[in-house]
Amino acid sequence: MRAWKLILTTSLVTVWLIPSSLPASATGGACPPIQSRFSLWDVETEPYQADNAADANGNGSVCSRPTKQTFIEDGETYTVYLFIDDNVPA
């Protein structure tokens, strides 16, 4: 039984470490499947700032998903988005 736990633990740790050891080009530039409603977004889009903070890999793109919330800035209504880094393996 103890050997089984060691094998399972080693397998889980190995699976967890593989994505973090891949080169950036292999882990960036893609968003989750279309069903997730995320799409590629340019972090230069104004007036948003959270998109820049989500760009962990620094490639100028993130994935965005619109929410039902809005905000008003300078009299214009904008949609609130959820941003995540575009580090989904392609």
High-pLDDT (> 90) share of the chain, %: 57
Phi/psi of residue 21, nearest 5 degrees? -95, -5
* Mean pLDDT for all residues in the chain: 75
Residue 7 has pLDDT above 60, yes or no: no
Whole-prediction pTM value? 0.63
- The mean per-residue pLDDT over the stretch 34-56 comes to 93
Residue type at 34 in one-letter notation: I
Banded pLDDT at 26 (limits 50, 70, 90):
very low
Burial class from Cβ neighbours inside 10 Å (0-12, 13-18, 19+) for residue 59 reads: middle
